[in-house]
């Protein structure tokens, strides 16, 4: 904690700059592979009465390298000497594909480092702060640690639990239905909610849907936002019996947006080959001996092993229920439209009142006629 004698105390401006760094880190969330998206701000106070100012900014580069500190130090140049660095994650201490950021901060003459989240990576975990202290830099750790941890949830979940972080998103009508039985696609939410959904997609490594949804809707599952077109996450179709055909959109566009099908080893080899020709890849899944449904913990473990740190689950009802029943949902998003579907509608596996009782409400918004809720489903980290 900050009261520890080797660490220096928090200053009044620290939270303001850390909040700015955390917002900046959001920029590359979902695009840094197995690395967390981290931001660094380098701040100087020239004592000219204008107060502290930012002289360098950096965010972890696409794919995960270079690290945030490198960019911020490059931008600050000589102005880094004597300055304070705000980092959303403890700076690294290891010689990986880049030299240790803690060492770079020392060498640049940074006087003080304010850090937010701790890094569970055993190569870092405390060693980054140790390297800074040994280099004569004062360190103030854990400033807004909880807020920063939220920007690296996928990374933390993969590290600690060996599976990706899971966000479940459901669009439901005001009477708690997600569609009409056998009635195809029903438009439940409006354009603002839909844009938000695309933004949330962009912040995940992969989107997962069931084969039923894929067959019924033939969705694109990409991220269609102006200027964010290159941010589409990978697509995963949970399709144990391999019903996905090579003519479907997710298969036909697999060379543009990576598409993975989770299927039983026993599924049709000819169809598998035809899908592979389109560029689809496969991940094996197994049935849970008790329920007969796909064993989700094993599947998530295998997906984490391929480098996926976060997944957005987007349908349908059975899959949503399976993730909820298995307590594999970290974040729940409910987008509630203004329409009523009525008794014939498919009941959502969870509605707003149910979620309020079970989970912690993180955020609530009104988007046009829709209401948008985000819940945190228990603190597993």
- Active-site positions read 69
The helix (run of H) or strand (run of E) holding residue 99 is none
Please choose, out of 87-95, 195-203, 328-336, 341-349, the segment that lies near ligand AOF by the rule CB under 6 A: 87-95
| Residue 113 DSSP symbol | E
By beta-carbon proximity to Zn ion, the closer residue of 94 and 224 is: 94
Q: Are strands 281-285 and 112-117 parallel, antiparallel or unpaired?
A: unpaired
**Least Å from the CB of residue 270 to ligand AOF:** 40
Q: What sections of 203-295 are H helices per DSSP?
A: 211-217, 249-252, 269-277
Residue 141 is a binding residue for ligand AOF (CB under 6 A) = no
Member of 67, 158, 163, 235 binding ligand AOF (CB under 6 A): 67
Look-up: residue for tokens 């928090």?
10
Member of 59, 85, 101, 131 binding Zn ion (CB under 5 A): 101
Member of 30, 64, 210, 233 binding ligand AOF (CB under 6 A): 64
CB 234 within 8 A of CB 308: yes
Q: Which residues are known binding-site members for NADP(+)?
A: 171, 213, 217, 316-322
Residue 91 is a binding residue for ligand AOF (CB under 6 A) = yes
**Least Å from the CB of residue 165 to ligand AOF:** 15
By beta-carbon proximity to ligand AOF, the closer residue of 96 and 212 is: 96
By beta-carbon proximity to Zn ion, the closer residue of 67 and 169 is: 67
Please choose, out of 95-103, 172-180, 283-291, 353-361, the segment that lies near ligand AOF by the rule CB under 6 A: 95-103
Answer with the entry of ligand AOF, Zn ion, none that 60 interacts with (C-beta below 5 to 8 A by kind).
ligand AOF
Residues 149-188 that bind ligand AOF (CB under 6 A): none
Residue 121 is a binding residue for ligand AOF (CB under 6 A) = yes
Residues 33-62 that bind ligand AOF (CB under 6 A): 35-36, 38, 60
d(CA 365, CA 343): 27
**Least Å from the CB of residue 238 to Zn ion:** 35
Member of 54, 79, 92, 254 binding Zn ion (CB under 5 A): 92
| Residue 171 DSSP symbol | E
**Least Å from the CB of residue 133 to Zn ion:** 17
d(CA 164, CA 283): 15
Q: In the bound complex, which residue of the shown chain has the CB atom lying closest to ligand AOF?
A: 96
By beta-carbon proximity to ligand AOF, the closer residue of 69 and 239 is: 69
Q: Long-range CB contacts (< 8 A, 24+ apart) of 341-345?
A: 341/173, 341/175, 341/177, 341/179, 341/180, 341/186, 342/175, 342/177, 344/180, 344/181, 345/173, 345/175, 345/177, 345/178, 345/179, 345/180, 345/181
Encoding tokens for residue 85?
Answer: 């660095």
For residue 262, is it left (φ>0), alpha (ψ between -120 and 50) or beta?
A: beta
For residue 373, the Cα-to-chain-centroid distance in whole angstroms is 17
By beta-carbon proximity to Zn ion, the closer residue of 92 and 312 is: 92
Answer with the entry of ligand AOF, Zn ion, none that 121 interacts with (C-beta below 5 to 8 A by kind).
ligand AOF
Residues 56-75 that bind Zn ion (CB under 5 A): 67
At a CB cut-off of 8 Å and minimum separation 6, what does 116 contact?
18, 21, 22, 87, 88, 89, 142, 143, 144, 145, 147, 148, 149
d(CA 193, CA 240): 31
Q: Which residues are known binding-site members for Zn(2+)?
A: 67, 92, 101
Residue 197 phi, psi dihedral angles, 5° rounding:
-60, -40
How many residues bind Zn ion (CB under 5 A)? The answer is: 3
By beta-carbon proximity to Zn ion, the closer residue of 18 and 299 is: 18
Give the binding site for ligand AOF (CB under 6 A).
35-36, 38, 60, 64-65, 67-69, 89, 91-92, 96-98, 101, 119, 121, 124
């Amino acid at each position: 904690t900050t009261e520890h004698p080797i660490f220096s105390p928090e200053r009044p401006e620290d939270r303001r700059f850390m909040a700015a760094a955390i917002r900046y880190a959001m920029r590359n969330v979902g695009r840094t592979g197995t690395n967390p998206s981290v931001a660094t701000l380098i701040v100087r106070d020239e004592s000219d009465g204008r107060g502290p100012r930012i002289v360098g900014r950096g965010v972890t580069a696409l794919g995960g390298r270079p690290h945030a500190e490198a960019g911020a130090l490059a931008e600050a140049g000589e102005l880094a000497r004597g300055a304070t660095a705000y980092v959303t994650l403890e700076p690294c201490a290891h010689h990986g594909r880049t030299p240790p950021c803690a060492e770079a901060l020392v060498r640049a003459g940074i006087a003080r480092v304010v850090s937010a989240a701790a890094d569970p990576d055993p190569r870092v975990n405390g060693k980054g702060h140790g390297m800074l202290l040994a280099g004569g830099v004062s360190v103030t750790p854990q400033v807004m640690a909880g807020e920063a941890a939220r920007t690296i949830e996928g990374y933390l979940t993969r590290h600690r639990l060996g599976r990706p972080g899971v966000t479940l998103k459901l669009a439901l009508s005001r009477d708690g239905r997600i569609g009409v039985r056998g009635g195809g696609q029903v438009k439940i939410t409006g354009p603002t909610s839909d844009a938000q959904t695309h933004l949330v997609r962009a912040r995940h490594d992969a989107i997962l849907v069931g084969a039923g949804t894929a067959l019924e809707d033939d969705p694109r599952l990409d991220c269609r936002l102006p200027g964010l077109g290159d941010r589409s996450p990978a697509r995963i179709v949970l399709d144990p019996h391999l019903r996905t055909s090579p003519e479907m959109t997710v298969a036909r566009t697999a060379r543009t947006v990576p598409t993975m099908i989770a299927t039983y080893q026993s599924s049709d080899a000819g169809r598998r080959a035809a899908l592979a020709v389109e560029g689809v890849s496969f991940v094996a899944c197994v049935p849970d001996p008790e329920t007969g449904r796909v064993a989700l913990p094993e599947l998530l473990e295998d997906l984490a092993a391929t480098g996926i740190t976060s997944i957005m689950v987007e349908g349908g009802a059975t899959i949503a229920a399976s993730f909820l029943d298995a307590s594999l949902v970290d974040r729940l998003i409910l987008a509630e439209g203004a329409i009523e579907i009525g008794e014939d509608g498919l009941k959502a596996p969870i509605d707003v009142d149910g979620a309020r009782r079970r989970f912690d409400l993180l955020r609530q918004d009104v988007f046009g006629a829709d209401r948008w809720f985000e819940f945190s489903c228990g603190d597993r980290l």
